[in-house]
Amino acid sequence: MPGRLALRLVKSIVPPFRHPHNALRADRPVTIATFIAKNALRNKRRAALCVLSVAVSLFLLVTLLVTLREFTIPPEDIGAAARIVVRNRISLANPLPYRQRAVIEKIPGVEAVSPFSWFGGKYRNEEFTAFAQFAMDPKLLRPIFGEAKMGEGQFEAFERDRTACILGKLTADKYGLKLGDKMVLESTIYPCTIELKIAGIYSGTIDDRNVLFHHDYLDEASGLKGTVGTWWVKARSLDEVAPVVTAINEAFKNTSCEVRAETERAFQLSFVSMLGNIQVLIGSICTVVVFSLVLVAASTMSMAIRERMRELAVLKALGFRQRELFAFILAESFGLAMFGAALGVGGAWFLFEPAQLMQKITGGLFITFEVTPRIIGTASAVAAGLGIVASIAPAAGVAKMSVVQGLKTLD
């Protein structure tokens, strides 16, 4: 008979186990973590969808933050600090007269001056050519752009041949071009098409994409001798940059062609300002992404906890306190959020850094697309905050619930 069997079993265990007096809260063993993990994965489909939504949203957030950073903080070359860009004060589109070169060369602190004109050429009938082409004085390549590295004899070959050009390694690799190959470029600015012979392939600069060729060749091909797009100036030392900038601006003040001289960095950042209030735009999108994510996560957690109200009431009855139940809920919510963050942020880092996905799919529009530690930290903090916020409402519900009410909850 079941009763007698039970009685025999009870009698065989003498004495019964003793419950320790004054039992205090123990250090939490691994079983608590197992309990939390099992609850989190109770509904695998819901957990997977929640994690995926966090991952995708954070991937998007990281992409937006990196894009914003790349637009607003363009990468800087090592030698940029000593370089100065001189352009027409009215507009970058307005040319400068060649005679200005002699004036600039005489300014104290100036080491080298080269014309630097953007060709705006299209290559192979592409809708969008991702590399820029510039005409310059080839003899001043090394003095002004010392960080560019090329193979032996290539600098000399470039200087020797009027129709020669040098090409950035990224573009050479992209199109499979090598030394001696010819490139035909049709300008969208100058009334000409030019054919260039590749005399050198450079690397080591922050932008290994561009084409540089002789300004004399451009003058001849376009028939517009006597004007240049900009002057690029190398100061003798970093201390002399500011005085040189001032001197250049003063030298052409109240002339028929006033100029704006500024450091290369300032020149780069002036392009950023043309993008308008991109920070507000991207910031708004990021805010919407995060807000939507909070709603999804909070809804998911609320649903998950609502299903377990009776179980939580049982845990309360067994002696678990409110703060322990809150810790369970928080740990579950935090865990799902951080797992999603690992996938989303980790995935973004992997795709944009080692795999260089953004450079590939934009055809080299972005020179770099760096997922910085700060951006990783920001996205992770968003995930952590999300995990905490999503647990608040369900935890508050559990706190308000009495054991009796909870036990009456229907499954």
Partner 1 sequence: MADAAPIVSIRSLTKVYRQGDINVTALNNLSLDIAAGEFLALMGPSGSGKSTLLHIIAGVDRPTNGQCRVQGIDVAKLSESDLADWRNQNVGFVFQSFNLIPVLTAFENVELPLLLTKLGGRQRKKQVRTALELVGLADRSHHLPRQLSGGQEQRVAIARALVTDPALIVADEPTGNLDANSANEALGILQALTTSAGKTVILVTHDPKAAAFGSRTVHLEKGELVV
- The verdict on 44 binding partner 1 (CB under 8 A) reads no
C-beta of 295 vs 399, nearer to partner 1: 399
Smallest gap, in angstroms, from Cβ of residue 341 to partner 1?
24
User: How far apart, in Å, are the Cα atoms of 342 and each of 33, 190, 219, 265, 384?
Assistant: 19, 50, 55, 35, 11
C-beta of 321 vs 360, nearer to partner 1: 321
Q: What sign does the dihedral 339-343-348-350 (CA atoms) show?
A: positive
Q: What sign does the dihedral 348-352-355-358 (CA atoms) show?
A: positive
C-beta of 280 vs 404, nearer to partner 1: 404
C-beta of 44 vs 99, nearer to partner 1: 44
- The verdict on 314 binding partner 1 (CB under 8 A) reads yes
The maximal CA–CA distance of the chain, rounded, in angstroms, is: 116
C-beta of 35 vs 175, nearer to partner 1: 35
Q: Which of 49, 275, 288, 317 binds partner 1 (CB under 8 A)?
A: 317
CB 103 within 8 A of CB 317: no
Q: For residue 376, how many other CB atoms are within 10 A of its CB?
A: 17
- The verdict on 45 binding partner 1 (CB under 8 A) reads no
Residues 267-306 that bind partner 1 (CB under 8 A): none
Q: Which of 139, 162, 253, 321 binds partner 1 (CB under 8 A)?
A: 321
* 182, two tokens: 């010819």
Place of tokens 């998911």: 300
The site for partner 1, by CB under 8 A, has a size of 45
C-beta of 11 vs 99, nearer to partner 1: 11
Q: What share of the chain is helix, strand, coil (3-state, %, to 5)?
A: 55, 15, 30
Name the one range near partner 1 by CB under 8 A: 162-170, 174-182, 218-226, 319-327: 319-327
Name, in order, each residue with C-beta under 8 angstroms of 65's C-beta and a sequence gap of 6 or more. 282, 286, 375, 378, 379
Name the one range near partner 1 by CB under 8 A: 4-12, 115-123, 229-237, 363-371: 4-12
User: How far apart, in Å, are the Cα atoms of 366 and each of 219, 237, 360, 369?
Assistant: 30, 30, 9, 6
Smallest gap, in angstroms, from Cβ of residue 265 to partner 1?
58
Smallest gap, in angstroms, from Cβ of residue 14 to partner 1?
9
Name, in order, each residue with C-beta under 8 angstroms of 407's C-beta and a sequence gap of 6 or more. 310, 313, 314, 317
Rounded to the nearest 10 degrees, the angle between the axes of helix 278-306 and helix 44-72 is 170
- The verdict on 39 binding partner 1 (CB under 8 A) reads yes
- The verdict on 3 binding partner 1 (CB under 8 A) reads yes
C-beta of 196 vs 336, nearer to partner 1: 336
Residues 58-117 that bind partner 1 (CB under 8 A): none
Residues 5-24 that bind partner 1 (CB under 8 A): 5-7, 9-11, 13, 16-20, 23-24
- The verdict on 238 binding partner 1 (CB under 8 A) reads no
Smallest gap, in angstroms, from Cβ of residue 29 to partner 1?
6
Instruction: State the number of CA atoms in the 13 A half-sphere of 81 facing the CB.
Output: 5
Residues 307, 320: Cα–Cα separation, whole Å: 18
Q: Which of 223, 319, 354, 373 binds partner 1 (CB under 8 A)?
A: 319
- The verdict on 38 binding partner 1 (CB under 8 A) reads yes
Q: Which of 70, 161, 207, 311 binds partner 1 (CB under 8 A)?
A: 311
Q: Which of 32, 177, 367, 389 binds partner 1 (CB under 8 A)?
A: 32
Phi/psi of residue 117, nearest 5 degrees: -115, 130
Beta strand 211-214 with 164-168 is antiparallel
CB 218 within 8 A of CB 195: no
Q: Which residues bind partner 1 (CB under 8 A)?
A: 1-7, 9-11, 13, 16-20, 23-26, 28-29, 31-32, 34-35, 38-39, 41-42, 310-311, 314-322, 402-404, 407
